[in-house]
Each structure stands twice: as C-alpha cells, then as structure tokens.
A and B are shown apart, each in its own frame.
Chain A
Amino acid sequence: MIDIKNSGSIGILDPPPLRNRGIKKVPFVEFYNNRIQGVVSSGSSLERVYVCVLDFNTNTFTCHTNNNRPCGGLRGSMCSHLNSLLSNAKTVDAIRGLDVINKTYSLVQDGSARYSEVFTRFQEKLRFLELNDMQDESIPESRWFYTKLEVKK
C-alpha cells in the first residue's frame, strides 16, 4: 500500500489568509513601486470611484476621481478616502502596512498629481473576471505551465 500521507511529493494548497477587508469601500489596494495605491468607492454610485495614492517616492499623497477631478475632501490633510485606503492596506499586508504607517505623517498633499494608471491597473484585473464568461474552449497547454504549490508537508 502506498503511504500517501507521508509522501514529500504531494501536498495540499495552503490558502492565502482570508482577506476580510472592506471590499465594498476599497475594491482595490496594492503596494506598488514604493506607493500605496488603490481605488476607493464614493459611496453614491458604483461607477464613481476615487483614485488614492500615497507616494513615498515624492513623499506626497493625493486623491482624485477616475475622471481626474480633485477630491473635495483634501484640505492639506488626508481625506476619508485616503484613510480608508490606508487602513485597508494594513489588512492586506500587516507588516508592510505597519512599516509605512509612521512614514505617512511626513507626507504632504499634492492635489494636482494624477495617477490614471492606478485605475487602469484595476480595470486590467477586472477584465479577467469578464473573460471567465467566455465560452469554454479546451486549452491543453494550460497544463504546460509551471505550477507553484505551497506544499504543506
């Protein structure tokens, strides 16, 4: 009989930690290029969102709508959208979140900076959810890809 349980070659997937973050309020948050950036809901409509960025390259923060209009909540200090982004970032990556929290006090407002690529990155990710609705075609090559397994021994 094969001793499957003790085999080193098999394993089960370790799921990523459940991210019980406020997805409705902050649908997208990421640490990217020495920035914390993301998309924060306006609360009034699904289409209208705010692009929020804490940029540690320029030591500035900004918030603007996806149509590039400035956020009215920015008055020299961080608006509610930026605060939501920040607290969400901490739930996504607690260690990195803690690491930057102290640095945020030295950031200054740059109300004119625009980060349209943040919204584009969000859209590019959402695209794949739409692609899942496409009709099934067999892709035998999907089995050629390297599979990275988090193996629980």
Chain B
Amino acid sequence: MSDKNVNFYDLTGDLDKAIKLTQDLSFLFYNGFSKLIQKEKDVLNQLAKGFVNSPLREIVPQGIDKLQKSDFHKDNFTALVLAITSIHGSIHDALYAKAEEVLEKKITFLTQESDTTFEEHTEEMSTLLSNIQNWLIDIAIGGFSDLNKESIQSFETVLQTVEDNKKLKRLGVILRGLSNEIILVRSDTKEKEHSIQVRWMDLWCKAYLLTLKKQIPSKVREVNGNLKLLGLQPYVHRNFLTIVFNGILENKKEKIYVEIEKSKFIIDLVPIEEFWFQLKQENQNLIDGLLKSNIIKVSNGVLQQNGNLVLTDYKLTTETFDILDVVQKSADKNPLLISKIQAIDRHPIHFKLPCIIKLEDIKNQTVKVGDKEIPIRFELQPTKRVQRPVTKNNMLMELRFDNGWFFKPLTSIGASNVFLGLISEKISTENPIYSILKERSSKILRDKK
C-alpha cells in the first residue's frame, strides 16, 4: 500500500486507486463487518484518510474508527455509505475529465438549477424505512456470504410493503434484486466473480441511502422538441427486463442526450418471450422511430436529472433524420448536452458519452484512441441484423465505463426488426399464459385483500 494518501473527495490523478479501493471495500461487505481481518482494516483506514478537504472529513474517520471497534450503530454505517457514495461520485466526475483529455473534446453538461430537496416522512414511513435500514445493517455485519434463504424470507413481509408502495418503487426493485441475486448467484459456483460482489456493495449502499431520506429531484425539466433515437439496449435480470433507448432531444434552444427507460417485472410462470413481446408492443412507436430514423415529436416530456426522459405525449412522424448529422453538427456552436446527474446518483456505470468513431480506427474489436486501445463490448444484441456503420467511414458508439473503459455501438440502422428476446413472435401474439395469469391475479389478489 502506498504511503501517500489519496484524496477521494477530489480525484485528479488517482482514479485507478479510487477504483481499486471500491473493489477492496466490497470484500468487507461480502465477508461481514463482524469478522474484519487486518487487511480489511487497512482498507478502511485508507478510506478514512481520503476526505481531508471534504465536508465528510470528521464523520467518515469517526464512523470508520467505530466500525473497526465493532460499534455497529447506524450513524457509523451512514458515514461509511456517504464515503462510498462520495467516491463513486468523484470517480464518475473524474471519468468525464479523463474522457475530455483522451478524446481531446470538450464535454458540455446540461445543468439543472436544483439542489436536492428532501421530503418529510410520515411516522409510518419512517418506521418502515428504519426497519429496512436495520435489516441492511444486519446483512453488512454478517456479510453477503452469510445471507441465506431464511434471513431473506424473514424480510419478505417488509419487502412486499415496500414494493406495494408506489413512492418506494426504486428501493423495492433494488432490495428484491439484491437479495435474490445474492442467494441465486452465490449458489451457482460458476458465477462467483468478484465484479458481481462489487456491484452488490453498490446496490447495498444505494438501498441504504434511499432509506435515509426520500429524495426527490426538486426541478425536473419540462421538455418539448424532436426526439431522434440512436440506439436501444436491452437488459435481462432474473426479476425484470429493461430496455433503454438512447437518443437526442432537440429544440430551438438545445440538444440534449437522453435515455428512455422501460422496465417490466417477470415471473417464472410465464415464458420470458411474452414479457419481451409486451415491452415491444408497448413501445412500438419508439422502436419504429429508431429503425426508420423517424423523428418523434415530444410534448410535455419530463427530463429527470439523470438524463432519463419520461414521455407523456409523443407522436411518431414520417420525417426522417440523419443520425450522423445529429451528433456531428452539434459539435460546434450548438453542443450536445450531457445531463449532469445529481451528486448522490453519480456512479461510474452512469458515465456515458456518444462518440463518432472512424472505421479506420477499429481493429480486432478495439478502437484506437490516441495511443490507447479501448475494447468494443456488447451487452445484449437488440437486433437481428448486425450493427452497420452510419456512413462509409463512421460509426456511432457510446463510450462507457464498467470495470474499465469500453465502447458500445449505438446505432442499429439497417435492421429490419428489433429482436429483443424473441425468436418467434407467433406464440406471443396470442399472449396466452400472461393474460390468463393476469386475469387470475386480479381476482385472486383482490380476494386476499
């Protein structure tokens, strides 16, 4: 371990060390805070020293000192969570600075004039959140490695209360996903990868953070304009499916890089294709806009601080756009704006930057940027047809970061159909299992209440 202390509050040249530290910290959560070994205490000490100039300079070292002495009061875990969240935020910001340097490109952010405001809770809500917080603390003390079906089951009633509350949907998804993932992945020996454990710590921290205070973005922006979709990325998890569209919202004043996220819970009684089919059907206009490069007119859309666009009123037009034009022309006088995510939600995985890549710079699944070679990585292939370059010479990709830099191709033009998880649409057009169970669920569950 180096003698020099890294200032995690202000990362300039210490990006790699900060990333390494978050990875090391995840071992503590996996093994549990009740059985810290010296090596793990060293990691905590390193963390404690990293906030010299930060508002956290007092509470972090104090909290960490107490955790090391097995004082598991929630204030100490709160200090730890704030420290980790702060590092994630610093890494996120440092990645943009690094990208500017490597790509020799100025990034312009869309700043939303807002400080995060907090909502007061009812007593009932405070009790619920406090129960969840205690459960999370118990998990951290025992470690993810100790978590079993019984301890998850004992939490089931609380978890269902969270899930049934619209205001807590995000917390519900994180808790359900995390607990299921720990149980299922851990029992599968093939999947014991450290990168998954790192993500568990992140999810744990985010859940903990959401129990502290209900955070509401105080100023979401109402937006109107032309939406030009550039890409689509499906994500599959054991509990839900998500599709994320990438695009640019353009009006007279500005061009904003946006995402549109659509999710669905899935259950194992229904073949996954039926859920895919539903997602597809519900978003057919957006998919058509993407495949045919047709402009979508957006009225009264809501732009959240994380760059997520919630569509309320939109119309697919027959007017087409040129993908490359949209990104390239914006470079000069009217720069493409990237949403500046609010501080507590900044995380390296949310770093994203659309880039036009010259085909001559692509070799062996990597993109040459200056003297660096950055790999091209696909998550899940959304279309049947392969991604084609936008023009003879260029391709549109998103620069991302997840345990290292990578480029993800964005455009899917030339594709005739969006594939998602569907091999055949024959079965799904009738939607049999889903609709039968849905009919039952409304009757059976209403009966229960």
Contacts and interface: CB of A to CB of B under 8 A. Distances in A.
Contact of B359 (A1, A46, A127, A148): A1
Interface in A25-66: 27-28, 46-47, 49
B268 A125 contact: yes
A47 B365 CA distance: 55
A15 to B, nearest CB: 5
A1 B389 contact: yes
B269 A147 contact: no
B264 interface: yes
B172 to A, nearest CB: 8
Contacts of A47: 443-444, 447
B4 interface: no
Interface stretch (B71-79, B120-128, B199-207, B293-301): B199-207
Contacts of B362: 1-2
Contacts of B380: 10-13, 147, 149
A123 B444 contact: yes
B373 interface: no
A27 B269 contact: yes
A7 B237 contact: no
A28 B306 CA distance: 40
B202 A144 contact: yes
Most B-side CB within 10 Å, residue of A1, A124, A138:
A138
Interface in B136-160: 156, 160
Interface stretch (A16-24, A71-79, A96-104, A108-116): A16-24
B69 interface: no
Contacts of A131: 163-164, 265
Contacts of B160: 124, 127
B269 A28 contact: yes
A126 B349 CA distance: 32
Contacts of A138: 261, 304, 306, 308, 310
Interface stretch (B41-49, B322-330, B431-439): B431-439
A19 B271 contact: yes
Contacts of B268: 125
A126 B350 contact: no
16 contacts: A9-B365, A9-B378, A15-B422, A15-B423, A24-B436, A46-B439, A124-B160, A127-B445, A136-B261, A138-B261, A144-B202, A146-B199, A147-B236, A148-B191, A148-B236, A149-B380
Interface of A: 1-5, 7, 9-13, 15-16, 18-19, 23-24, 27-28, 46-47, 49, 122-132, 134-149
